[in-house]
Structures are given as structure tokens and as C-alpha cells.
Structure 1
Amino acid sequence: MIKSIIVDDEYNAIKNLKWEIDQFCKDVQVIEAFTNPVEAISAINYLKPDCVFLDIEMPEMDGFEMLASLHYRDFDLIITSAYDNYAIKAFRQHAMDYLLKPIDSDDLKEVLDRIRSNKKHNILGAELKNMLDDWNPKKMTKVALPLLGKTLFVFKGNILYCKSDGSYCEVVFNDGKKEVMSKKLKEMEELLGKGFFRLHNSYLIRLDAVKEYVNHQGYYVVLEDGSTIPVSRSKKQQLLQLLNG
């Protein structure tokens, strides 16, 4: 049984989430629910739940302030919010997921499946962390990009993203310049390696170029040059864990 606690200043939000859990997640038990985050702190420290569903915007103390006040943090954190602008900060707090209200049943079941997997196999994202080991653009050597009639030697940190175009690949650089290569995106993914992530069938991005993650009317990231790159639903969680580092 997965023991959970809900913290949300809106009673109806707690009621709706508890109904979703009761209906679709029979092995999840809501052991406590709080509209006051100050009261929730003591309960979480004492009861030591497996997961906490936490709202961010609350009048007396916001969700991040509550997290900073906890002594016990060995639980899976699921942020629940009506707003999508806290996503990156949430995953820096090692959130398992970020669910937008009204909470979709499929999204809820998906995140609880991951919690079950973590609980059963003690999988804590080690594979994802290894993907970023030694990632430091300033220390990276140059990579050779074969173009038509020439080879371009560039630092990986100067590449912003790559876009697939059939058997070709468009490489976009930090300064706005673009080059077309006769390589498929999968080949570019293998060539660039750590520090880059294929977040969509057609796009490969440099992770530290991400400024924002947007979860509204679809999923996408905003890069440091203002480019918006779509995120496939299947890659959403992995991307956010990588951004969290």
C-alpha cells in the first residue's frame, strides 16, 4: 500500500483528487489531507508518507516554503497546480511529476505507476543522472560536422539544437547561424552524446540552453534564443528529470 498525504488550500481540490485516487488507484491510501501547510509539516515529519501531493500557491505558506521546512523528505513529491509556470522549480525540488488541475486520470495513473516501480525496485533515476555525468560545455572538445564540401569543427556548447529533415539534419547555433548536414537526427544524437536530449522525433536540444518548460496546450520548451521546441508526451518526464540534474 502506498501511503499518501494531500496538501492543498482548496477543499474541493482535495476532494476531487481523493476521488480520483479512490477510483483509479486502489493500492494508494490517503492517510491525511490538509488545507493548512503549517499543519501538514508536522504530519509529514511524523507519518513519513510514501508520496505527497502538494499545491504551490497557498495563502499562509506556499508549497516551496513548506518543503524547505520539512525534516523528512524521503517521499515522492507530486506537484498539483492550476498554473504551469512552476514546473522547472518543482523538478529542482526533485518532484516526481507536475500535474495541472483539473488532474487528468491517465496522468495520475502514470505517475503512480512510476512510484510503484520506484518502491518495488528502488529505481531513483540513476540512469538519467549518468546521462549528465561529466557534462560541462566549457570543457568539451570540438566535434566534427561533415558538411557539403567541408568539415566544420565546433564546440558542442555552441550548438543550440538540431532539427530533422528526412535524411538531412539542420543544425542551429547559438549565434543564429544554421548548417545542413547529410546525417539523420539519430546519428547526430550519437555524435553529440551527453548534454543533448532528443525530446521529440524531429528535435535534439542542448539541455543547458533551456530557459522554460511549458505545460499548457501541449508541451514545449523555450530555449535561450527564444526558440520554442515541442516535447513529446513520452519524453516529458525524462526531460524534466534531466533538467533537474
Structure 2
Amino acid sequence: MRRTERLFQIIQILRRKNGPVRGHELAEELETSLRTIYRDMAELIAQRVPIRGEAGTGYVLDAGYDLPPLMLTTDELEAAVLGARWVAARGDAQLARGAEDLIAKLSAAVPAELQPVILDSGLMPVSFRRRSEDSFDVSLVREAIRTQKKLSISYEDEGGQATERIVWPFQIAYADDIRMMCAWCELREDFRHFRTDRVRAIAMLDKRFPERVARLRKRWQDKRECERQAGKG
């Protein structure tokens, strides 16, 4: 690992920790010597990175500090490119275009020595399953989640029976072969999952649903956890 990358990584480690990080912890994670870590910490402090602490007691990064944009390591860039390529292949049309634009912007913005990481990346997502085609533009659901708007849908179950529902969407789950809209269903008065290839009609309503998206998602997660625990019993 180059020293510049190591300095950035030290800052990232300090950012994700809640308390002081000792030098030997940094040395172990970065696979380098304790002596090198002490030199790196002295260099960061000399560059006015707001780090408090010293050898033996641990180091803390002051809250609110952030790195300049696009100061990314090779691993971070490869992760971003791989993720964007997966979205480009599996996302709805607008999301796919957004992923392609992201890769282009990264290519133009990173330093010249890091551009081959993007342009010549050997990482490519693959799938051996045929993806079901959406029956509508899924970007409408993403907009409904952002604006907390109710959706009116006509949904066809596995047996071909259609029902009319008002739902409160809070999440879209992306799998290799299908996409699922997770929502609170007013008809069932419970959480339900709707495959996007089985929605026969959809419209966004002017009405906002009363519960915050984050709260809905938390209740959904809690219910799933309870169901998992019950299944183990």
C-alpha cells in the first residue's frame, strides 16, 4: 500500500471508530509496523488533520472532519465501479443511466494515476438467471419513497388474481432475477412485498402517508426478526 493511501485509510479507520484507536490496532489492520504508524500519525498531525491523542493512549479524529471529495483508494474505486456496473445491468432505466454517468464522472475526476483502475477494471458482475421485466417504470416507486407519497396499484398474485391496493412504499429490494417493492398495505393492514413484474397498474397519489420511511423500515425489520426467531423455536 502506498503511503498516501495508508494515510487516507488511517483517517477512514478513525472515522468509523467510536473511541480512541491504539497504534497497534492500526498497525494490525493496515499490515504495517507500529513504528510506521507513529510516523504516519505525526505526518497527519503536521498536515493539520484534527487528530487528538498520542502513542500508548490511542488516537481520535475530531467530529465533523471529512476528506476532500474523490480522495479514494484503489479498493474504494473498484468497489464503486463494481457496484455501479451491477446497477447499470440490474437497475431501472433511470437508475442504470445514473450508474453509467457515475462511472464517467469518476473517470474524469480522479487523478490520472487512478484512471486505469476504472477504465481497465477487471471486475464485472455476472448473473446466470434471467431477469423478469418490470411492468412499469420503477423510478416512480423511488420517487414515492423520497416524497413519502402513497401509491395506488393493481397487483396480480402468483395465481393470477388481481387486487386493488393503496400502499406506502419504503424500500425496493434488488435481486438478480426480480425486484420487490416493500410497503405497508392498507388493504391487509400489514407489510407486504410486491414483485414489480406483477404490478398491472400504478399511480402516485397526492396524499402523503403519515409514517416516516425510516420508521416503517424499522418496524418491518423488527417484524422480520421476530418471524426469524419464531421459526427457530
What range is the shorter-chain TM-score in? 0.3 to 0.5
Higher share in helix: 2
TM value normalised by structure 1: 0.33
Higher strand share: 1
TM-score (norm 2): 0.35
Which has the greater radius of gyration? 2
